[in-house]
Structure 1
Amino acid sequence: MTEHTPDTDLLDGFLDATRAAAAAVVGLVGGGDGMRIDGVAVDALRRALEPLAVDGRVVVGEGEKDQAPMLFVGERFGTGAGPAIDLAVDPVDGTKLAAAGRPDSVAVIAVAPRGAMFDIGPAYYLEKLVTAHAGRGLSLADPIAVTLDRLAANLGRPVSTLRVAVQDRPRNAATAQAIQAAGAELVGFADGDVALSLRAAAADGDLDLLLGIGGAPEGILTAAAVRALGGWMTARFAPQSPEEHARLVEVGVDLAREVPLDELCTADAWLLLSAVTSTALAAGAELAGVSLDADGGVTVESVVVGPGSPLTRSRKRLDPESP
């Protein structure tokens, strides 16, 4: 795998790792035990990454923020003989959704050359703006009404037709109110912002914009896909506790500075995703959730988002002997 051209076998290995994570939790979906789902998925993903011919390093993980099982930041994987690869990972993005059997839970990783993904340091949360190419240059520094006016003008549509996704959290209440006050349609969601971000960044997506404060790890995962899709993203640190604020200040983070897409992901990268529960990706495009066959085999639907191959879908059956 070079900076510009992926090694097909290597990417297939990473995709199989997300499939392994999704397949491992097939019997747990809807069972209510999110912690167990995370733990089983982490174990399956770690096993699948071990034999890959790479000098691999985890640079973004999700578990510490949620006090959940995780691949830890700095963890090495692969044989060590191969290209230097950095990995952003969430074995199950939308764990609560998977536990409840609700849509938009996925096993997801982003793969990039060493040093290409932005270092979020001790941050748990980012404020994010994600949109397709028409929104390039939009800024979190502008009032939301101004942002919506600019995006609508670029699209040649009235603001009233814009669909804007915001995660349902108290921290995003003012953002949601401003969107509604401007006349746009508010699309609230509980969890699973990687899938929602893809819908906003894709040219044929059914969302025009994603705004609000969400997980920092998911932000870096998202940036890899947004770059590949030709969309636009910008982010800034948004600490949600005095402790997180102090950690960021201690390491010299400028909390007022926006980080644009070209810094969030500086080189061609690939997002590899397998659906745990049914997952909408764009208008008319949905992945079915992982399913168990009568003989114990597992069917997984997946997507690869990368330079020159956005939203390439696949479906694979893992036989009962597969780990």
Structure 2
Amino acid sequence: MLPLTLTDDLLQQILGVTGAAALAATPLVGAGDRNAVDGAAVAGMRQAFSRVPIDGVIVVGEGEKDEAPLLHTGERVGTGAGPRVDVAVDPVDGTRLAAENRPGAIAVMSVAPRGSLFDPGPVFYLDKFVTSGAAAGLRLDAPTVDTLHELAARLDRSVTSLRVAIQDRPRNQAYVDAVRSVGASVVSFRDGDVIPALHAAHPRGSIDLLLGIGGAPEGVLTAVAVRALGGIMQARRSPQTPAERGRTHAAGLSTVEVLELADLAAADGYFFLTAVTDVEGLRELGVDDLPGVRRLATGSETVSLLVSPGGGIRRQADVHKRAADADPAGPGRPATRE
């Protein structure tokens, strides 16, 4: 598989796609309607994609799991010219956060060489394990208590000093119990596991380990960033409803097999993130926090992150002109950037 190398100009155009999703969702922030937030972000993202010179295929979209608006799996995006890429998108990770005007809602996307990203098929949830490269060799399918003791030894720290991020859902209670049984700290979060996963994968992140069952789309998106950051990630399919289990069985898919990082993201790619609402706690990753979309006299400002192969993290602010003043590239393309 040929490596994917994108020019700076093309990176900016792709980053404009998550920027367009964040801009489109912003009028609905705080309105209380998660699906309306998603629908607006999908429309903004699709319009912006139509101007980007890539031959892209959506491998992973978000809406099917939530019965919300979506970019369809298999949908072609881009102009059809340019690099042939797989695209994984979540127009808004944290739609509840956006609907309630709380911090942490983001528009997020990963782009990688064609054929390199995992297709979860009919499975909407993955059991996930993310940590930094210092923990190479640890296993999702090992007893959690043993894993925590081994991780502490690898980091030359006490097990009670470990911080483990787990999404606050009943399905993850066994993980919570195991972490608390050894005296480690549970960092609980309600929505959106992308940012906690970045912290877990980064060698200086505030999280030592991310565990638990969460969305499959976010898992594939995250895998691209984890690979770029040199982290460790494993996952296994974890259907959560009888219908989902039936589809998984009918497709002949294993719920026991542990998927390695190379299964989830088989080649280096790029990870794009734009804040819809404020994203805090990023200083350990070497960047300032991201403010949500901000209205200006001449338009709006978005602030984004780009994670490139090799672990480079770029924070970027873009000013988007109002429609009446926009340049010919259209509203999805930043007029100026910081």
Q: TM-score range by the shorter chain?
A: over 0.9
Aligned structure 1 segments of 4 or more residues deviating by more than 4 angstroms? none
1:250-295 alpha-carbon deviations (Å, 9 max, x no partner) = 11112110001011100011110001111133527421111112x2
Q: Which 10-residue stretch deviates more, 46-55 or 216-225?
A: 46-55
CA 1:32–1:311 in structure 2 vs 1: closer, same or farther (change >3 Å)? same
Specify the alignment match of 1:156 in structure 2. Answer: 156
1:71-93 alpha-carbon deviations (Å, 9 max, x no partner) = 01010111212221110000000
Specify the alignment match of 1:48 in structure 2. Answer: 48
CA 1:106–1:233 in structure 2 vs 1: closer, same or farther (change >3 Å)? same
Alignment of 1:107-126 (within 5 A): 107-126=107-126
Specify the alignment match of 2:266 in structure 1. Answer: 266
Q: Which 10-residue stretch deviates more, 275-284 or 169-178?
A: 275-284
Specify the alignment match of 2:183 in structure 1. Answer: 183
SS across alignment from 2:26: coil
Specify the alignment match of 1:73 in structure 2. Answer: 73
Specify the alignment match of 2:226 in structure 1. Answer: 226
Specify the alignment match of 2:314 in structure 1. Answer: 312
SS across alignment from 1:134: helix
1:290 aligns with 2:293: yes
Counterpart residue type for residue 305 of structure 1: V
SS across alignment from 2:12: helix
Q: CA deviation at 1:4?
A: 4.2
Q: Which runs of 5+ in 2 are unaligned?
A: 332-338
1:280-315 alpha-carbon deviations (Å, 9 max, x no partner) = 33527421111112x251111100011135321111
Counterparts of 1:130 and 1:282, CA distance in 2:
19
Q: CA deviation at 1:316?
A: 1.1
Specify the alignment match of 1:192 in structure 2. Answer: 192
SS across alignment from 1:68: coil
Q: CA deviation at 1:28?
A: 1.9
Q: CA deviation at 1:137?
A: 2.0
SS across alignment from 1:146: helix
Q: CA deviation at 1:7?
A: 2.2
SS across alignment from 1:287: coil
SS across alignment from 1:23: helix
1:28 aligns with 2:19: no
Contact 1:202 1:282 in 2 (8 A): no
Q: Which runs of 5+ in 1 are unaligned?
A: none
Counterpart residue type for residue 24 of structure 1: A
Q: CA deviation at 1:163?
A: 0.6
CA 1:309–1:255 in structure 2 vs 1: closer, same or farther (change >3 Å)? closer
Q: CA deviation at 1:41?
A: 0.6
Q: TM-score, normalised by structure 2?
A: 0.92
Give me the CA root mean square deviation: 1.3
Counterparts of 1:285 and 1:158, CA distance in 2:
29
SS across alignment from 1:301: strand
Overall identity of the aligned pairs, in %: 50
1:159-213 alpha-carbon deviations (Å, 9 max, x no partner) = 1111100000010111111111111100100001111111111111111111000
Contact 1:60 1:89 in 2 (8 A): yes
SS across alignment from 2:115: coil
Contact 1:26 1:276 in 2 (8 A): yes
1:217-254 alpha-carbon deviations (Å, 9 max, x no partner) = 10000000000000000000011011111111111112
Specify the alignment match of 2:210 in structure 1. Answer: 210
CA 1:245–1:127 in structure 2 vs 1: closer, same or farther (change >3 Å)? same
1:87-133 alpha-carbon deviations (Å, 9 max, x no partner) = 00000000001111111110000000100001211110000001111
Specify the alignment match of 1:8 in structure 2. Answer: 8
Counterparts of 2:307 and 2:153, CA distance in 1:
28
Counterparts of 1:166 and 1:5, CA distance in 2:
34
Contact 1:198 1:282 in 2 (8 A): no
Contact 1:163 1:209 in 2 (8 A): yes
Q: TM-score, normalised by structure 1?
A: 0.96
Counterpart residue type for residue 289 of structure 2: E
Counterparts of 1:133 and 1:4, CA distance in 2:
23
Specify the alignment match of 1:83 in structure 2. Answer: 83
